[in-house]
Structure formats: C-alpha cells, structure tokens
Structure 1
Amino acid sequence: MSRPTARPALAALAAVLTAALPLAAPASAGAAPACSAPPAPARPATEQPWPQQRYAPDRLAPLATGAGVVVAVVDSGVDRRHPQLARRVLDGADFLDPGGDGTRDCAGHGTGVASIIAAASRPGVAFRGLAPDARILPIRVSEQQVVDGRESGRTVGPTDFARAIRWAVDHHATVLNLSVVLYADNAAVRSAIAYAVRRDVVVVAAAGNLHDSGDPRPYPAAYDGVLGVGAIGADGLRSPFSQTGPYVDLVAPGGDVLLAAPGQGHRRAEGTSYATPFVAATAALLRQYRPELTATEVARRIVGGADPAPGRGDGYGAGVLNPYRAVTETPGVGTGRTGRAAALPIEGADPAAAAQRARRAAARQRALLVAGATGTTAGLVVLLAVVLPRGGRRGWRPAGPA
C-alpha cells in the first residue's frame, strides 16, 4: 500500500486569501484557460479503504443514499469525467475563471472531496461515496496546490469566496462543504456564512492542518453555526497535523484517505480537507432520511451520534463521526460538548428570531398531533407545557472561538 501523498489541502488557500497576494487577471467569459499543471494520471484502486470498512456504506444504503440532496463543494472544481462521478455533478460556477461551470479541476482537490461524498459503485472498485445519490454542485475558487511544501497556483480573494458561498445557497444547496481554511476573520465571509445559516443550510468546514504551527484560528470552521471537522487516522487517533481548539465539533477520517483523481483512477491523501466531506455526506443522508429536520437539528444529531474518541483533548470535539448512529438514533438532552465558549457574533444573525422560528415549527408539528386527540383547547395547554422549555435543552453548540 502506497503512503499518502503530501497534503494538497486547500488550507493553503488561507495564506493567499489573508495575504491578499495579486491574482491573475480573469479570463473572458467562455475562454477558460487550460490547466497550467494538470494532475498526474492515477490508476484505479481495487482495495477497500479503511474509512469504508469503518462506515460500511452498504449498511446505510437501505436507509438513505443522499437522493434529492444538493451538496455544494466550494473548492478547486469537480471533474465530472471520472466514471464514479458521472451524472452526479451539476453545472456549477467558476469564480476563478468566469464563464466556467465548476467542472474543471486543475488541482484534484475538489474532485477528491466530492468523491468521498458521492462516488458511485463501479465493478471491480471497492471505493464508493458515503452518500452516492447526492448531487454535487461544484463551485471553483482555486487551482492552488502544495508542491514540495510550497504553495503554487491561483485562488480567489475573500470577497469572491464569500460570493461563492452565497451563490451555492441561492442555487439550492442544502449542505455546504468547505474544505478550505482562512486564518483571519473576514467580514464578507462571516456575512456569507450567516446568510447560509439563516437559510437552513448545513455548513461543514475543515478545522485546518496547522497544529504544529500553534493552531491558528481557522475560518469558516470557527464561525457560529458551522460544524468544524478535525482528522483521525486508521488507528482512531487524531492526526498529528489536525488542529485542536473549541472550533472542532467532531473528527472523521483524514489520514491515508482514498479518493478519486481527475479523469479516472484514485489516489491517497491526508488532511482535514478530506475529513470534512465525510461529515457533509452524513448531513446529506440525514437531509434525505429526515427532511423535516432543520440544519441545526441535523448538526445536533451528527454531533450527538459521535463515538467516544480514544484520545483526549479538545482536538476530538464530541468524538468520532458515526453516520449510522447519526441517521438512526435520536440524541438525548445534553449530547455534544458542554461548556462550549460562545462563538463570534455573526453579522445579521438574530439568535432570538432563530429560536422563535424553531419554537413555531415545533409548535405546528405538535399541534397537529394534539388537536386530533384532545381538541384545540386541550392541545394548546399541552403544547405550551412541552414547547416552552425546548430552547434550554439544546445539546449542540455551533463552532466558534473562545
């Protein structure tokens, strides 16, 4: 078995976005340039990857496959030519080279991320995605790679990154996979995340790969309403590079991960970038299986269904992702981490209004049940007794800095 490649994770995007390095002039519409350094050809892999052994997608398939759910992958693009991604990738958008549809991937990063979510089964190939019937909405914001420890390639700036997030929300994505990291709070990006959260989108983001550099605070993972994801290896322990901090809600496989390569074939990689789509795929399964759940309730079930981590410390969050438990179990009161510090306030977010909307939604559901059995008057009494304490019993707290 070959060793994992160097981490090409778009955590490298952070340096470019925060340093505001010059960007290449945009191409004219319909004239997207060819990749300056196309990804190397890859061979198909036949062995079953360890995350798949752990999660057994066949066990989940009778319950949910992600059908009818759109997952936006804001990344380096997604190559729909890969046989396992055929008919699973929608026309998206290209914020790096205007005129594209997001299906050109010069780095291979976004294709790999998308495959963990939605790769279809193929004869002779053991690898498959966790939510193979989900549809991927590709949004291209980078072609950056890390070669010999150095970053190369173009990315968009924070303003266009924020525009990409809003575009995904406006084009019907109900799950947002952000395998990118910025190491500075940016008002436009913060506002875009708030926009997604207000519109009931499950937002999942990488916790970053700079543990050895002091765990600088990663965004969007540290924003309110975002599920921040760290990485573990096959032994279940936190990967040495995976950052630790209050922004980590849970961990998922991110070491020696098998994924699809542009064109065809597969490769191995590591990084919190690749742990993130396992959580996004689980959100897609839940959005299909329990369509009545809000994004907050989906996040709560994912965090509440996590398995205990074998290690200790804040690098594990609530524990290790368990998609089957997230889909099948109802989390009890107080699940998830306790004592979570409050997150940075999101521009435009109104927690009181959000709580009011949640109470009203719950009230409508309970009212239908109660009215049929006891009548309107008795139903109202029961409704008030049950619903009013609901806000104080929420177990999940969204990711955010101390």
Structure 2
Amino acid sequence: MSRSIARPVLAGLAASILTAPAVPINAADAAPRTAPTCATPLAPVQPVAALPWTQQRYDPARLAPLATGAGVTVAVVDSGVDRVHPQLAGQVLAGTDLLDPGGDGSRDCAGHGTGVASIIAAQPRPGVAFHGLAPGARILPVRVSEQQVVQGRESGRTVSAADFARAIRWAVDHDADVVNLSVVLYADDPTVHAAVAYAVERDVVLVAAAGNLHDSGDPRPFPAAYDGVLGVGAIGADGVRAGFSQTGPYVDLVAPGSEVLTAAPGQGHQRVEGTSYAAPFVAATAALLRQYRPELTAAQVARRIIATADPAPGPGHGYGAGVLNPYRAVTETGPGQPAGPRTVAALADDRADAAQLARDARRAAARHRALLVGAVVGTTAVAVVLLALVLPRGARRRWRPADPV
C-alpha cells in the first residue's frame, strides 16, 4: 500500500503460526468454533497451553480481586472480532461492519481484531494459561479492514479515512468507555481528527498504536499523534523497545508488542508482533481503571496510566513515560500527572496553575492595600472637614480643652 494514500493500516506484523500440542477440546464445543466465512480463509492454528511472557509480566490474577473490567465496554476498531472463539464467547457485543455493510463486526478475515480483543478480554479456560488483562470487559467490534501482512506488505481491503472516522463516532455513540485503535493512518485527515475530538469531548479513553515503520523514518502516525489519544509503542520480553516500534513525541508509553500470544479466529492461538498488540494492554488497563475508579474522567484515567508507568530501560522518545504497569495504575493514588516527555494536550489538567495562583494572590493583595489606603485617606479627609467646621464655632463659644488632672 502506498503511504500517500490516507487509508487505515493495521499496525500488526506477520503472525507466527503455532503448532504446539493441542489442548483437548470437547466435541460438543468444537462445532461453533469455525472462523466466519472469508474469501481467503485463515489457516487453522492450535490452542497453546504454555504461560506467555506477557502474563508473567502482567499477572491478571493479581489484579482480579481489584478489577476485571466488569461493566466497561471497550470498542475494538479493527478487522472484526470472532465471537465464537472459546475464550471470547459471551464477551463480544453486536457491533457493526463498515467494510461490508450489514454485518455485526464478528467476521474477522485477518485475525488481527480477534487477537487484539483477546489481549483485553479473553476468558480463562481449563488447560490454557493465556487470558486477557481485563476479562470482565465487554468488546464492541467495529470492522474496518481485512488486511493481512503477506511477505512484509499489507494486502487486503480497508475503509476510507472518512469511514474510519465514522467508525470512531459509531463506537462513541454506542456507549464505548474505551476505544482501541490498533490502526494507523500516515496522513492527517480532518474527518478523523474531528472524530477524535468528538470522542474526547464525550469522556472516552482513546488508545492507539504508534506504528511499525521505525526503519522507514518514523512517519507521523494518526490517530496516535492527535491530542487526547494515548500513543503506544512496543517492547519485547527483555523490556527493550522493539526494533520496528516507532519513536517520536506521539509515544506516550510502551507495552508488550513482540512475540505476544493472542487468540486466533476459530479455537487456537498465535504469536504476533506489532504496536497493534501493545495498544490493547493499555486499553485493558483503562478498562480496569474505569471499573475500579468510576469517578475518574477519561483524561484522569489517561494521566494515571502515564504517571504510573515504570521507568524505561533506554533513553529517547521511543518509550514515552515508560513501560505500562497495570497494577500500579489501579492501586496507586495521587494526581496522576504525566511523567514522560510529552503531555497529552487535550487531556485537561485538573491542577491549578502555580503561576496563575501567584498572579491572583498578588492582585488580591494589591486590591487590599488600595482599599486600606483609600479608607485611611477618606477618614483623614472627613476629620479635616469636621475640624474646619467645629473649631471656629468652639472658639466663638469660648470652648477650651479640659486641663489634664
């Protein structure tokens, strides 16, 4: 795809097809698990029982007593979400399909959106260690693409920028509390910009992938670069920025995005990489916060996530404020101000400005002094007038001050 065309690009790289031994599946459960019909069906993959590194880093069991994302709706604007995958069954709402009108968002011909959704809300299953960071959250699928990466190049249909903007608005209008945008536009489109502003005004947390074109000069990614959007870069298991992950002031923080285990359409799992898969870790954390601290605004949720990030292992704009820490985001108290090199300008800061407070104090003091001086001058003038009137009369009547005793 030409980078000059302003169409959304799924920010995921090639997936690794897994051939690990299958987890036993009941025959009664197997029938409804086939992937939705697609022009080019995805190759079937096997379930994986092993504990993924991301789950060792972010232990959902540690968070579960505090929050699971229950009652929170996370919109996944992506390639669709397979609602019959055993770990997503019952968690996926009826969404919409802007690529093939008439659908409900459950058709996923790329596997991308299903993987993103599983990082957020996959349910625990016997014999499978992997599950989502916010397994109580509801997923609202908005299908905008069926792209796949073939030999390093995107292939497949995707909507226009105008329809991508419509997807964001649709998610907001259908009660999304958080919107995950693992999609990148390499052009600043006014309709998308306006849709982002629409979401921000309606108190929705927006999370977007920072893009995978570091080796191509880090072209500016949208919507991650817009004010009010949390831009997310990718790290590997060693905590170091993934080589493909873009760097720039639009990166607010980083999360796992290399060799990430996700659910695949059907019944299995696959390992994937890309900033696409880092973003949903942040979106899931936002869901946990929106449940645990429902009084927080979207702006405050975003600031808290940034402020509680762990220190980055390297310098520069590639890490933003640091590495996502969901447990700290949920449990730590404080104002939650940004700790990284970039503040999110559209996220209103609820702290009073110190300089403005000082100016107000100085003006108040000046007004007080002016009133005090005015009162003294006024009192003196009145006294002088009274003396000028009274003393001559006293002299005519031979008044004298009393002699001291």
Shorter chain as normaliser: what TM range?
A: 0.7 to 0.9
5+ residue gaps in structure 1?
A: 1-11, 21-32, 344-350, 360-386, 394-402
Contact 2:6 2:189 in 1 (8 A): no
1:341–1:253 distance in 2 versus 1, CA, 3 Å: closer
Listed one character per residue, the Cα deviations across residues 307-344 of structure 1 (whole Å, up to 9, x for unaligned) are: 01111111000000000000001245754124x3886x
Residue 200 of structure 1: aligned partner: 203
1:151 partner letter: E
The equivalent of 1:123 in structure 2 is 126
User: CA-to-partner distance for each residue in 1:91-147, whole Å, 9 max, x for gaps?
Assistant: 000000000000000000000000000000000000000000100000000001111
Distance 1:244 1:108, change over 3 A: same
Hey, what does 1:172 align to over in structure 2? 175
**Structure 2 unmatched runs, 5+:** 10-35, 358-405
Match of 2:293 among 276, 290, 298: 290
Partner Cα distance (2:209, 2:5) in 1: 17
2:72 — aligned with what?
A: 69
User: What is the CA-CA distance between 1:35 and the residue it aligns to?
Assistant: 1.1
Q: Verify: 1:270 aligned to 2:273, yes or no.
A: yes
- Relative to structure 1, the CA distance from residue 60 to residue 342 in structure 2 (aligned partners, 3 Å threshold; closer, same or farther) is closer
**2:186–2:219 contact (8 Å) kept in structure 1:** yes
Verify the 8 A CA contact 2:8 2:164 in the aligned structure 1: no
Indicate which of 250, 267, 275 corresponds to 2:253: 250
| CA RMSD between the two structures | 2.3
Amino acid at match of 1:67: A
The one-letter amino acid paired with 1:114 is A
Equivalent pairs counted in the alignment come to 331
Q: Which residue of 1 aligns with 2:364?
A: none
Q: Secondary structure at the match of 1:107?
A: coil
Which residue in 2 is equivalent to 1:362? none
Match for residue 6 of structure 2 among 17, 34, 44 = 17
TM-score (norm 2): 0.78
Q: Which residue matches 1:150?
A: 153
**Shift >6 Å, 4+ stretches:** 12-15, 390-393
Aligned AA (1:76) = S
Displacement of 1:235 in angstroms is 0.3
Equivalent residues of 2:322, 2:340 under 8 A apart? no
CA 1:334–1:124: 2 relative to 1, 3 Å: closer
Query: In the aligned structure 1, how far is the partner of 2:355 from the partner of 2:269?
Result: 46
State whether structure 2 residue 71 is matched by structure 1 residue 35: no
- What is the aligned partner in structure 1 of residue 242 from structure 2? 239
Q: Measure how far apart 1:169 and its partner are.
A: 0.1
CA–CA separation in structure 2 for the residues paired with 1:293 and 1:392:
25
Alpha-carbon distance between aligned partners in 1 of 2:72 and 2:8, rounded to the nearest angstrom? 35
Letter of the 2:253 partner, please give it.
L
Residue from 312, 317, 323 that aligns with 1:314: 317
Query: Does the aligned pair in 2 maintain the 1:304–1:331 contact within 8 Å?
Result: no
Cα gap change, 1:16 to 1:56, in 2 (>3 Å): same
Alpha-carbon contact 1:14-1:180 (below 8 Å) kept: no
Of the three residues 77, 83, 92, the one matched with 2:95 is 92
Q: Judging changes above 3 Å, is the alpha-carbon distance between structure 1 residues 319 and 35 closer, same or farther for their aligned structure 2 residues? A: same
On the 8 A contact 2:8/2:184 being kept in 1, the answer is: no
**Structure with greater Cα Rg:** 2
TM-score using structure 1 length:
0.78
Match of 1:112 among 92, 115, 121: 115
Distance in 2 of aligned mates of 1:317 and 1:335: 10
Q: Which residue of 1 aligns with 2:50?
A: 47
Structure 2 residue matching 1:17: 3-state secondary structure: coil
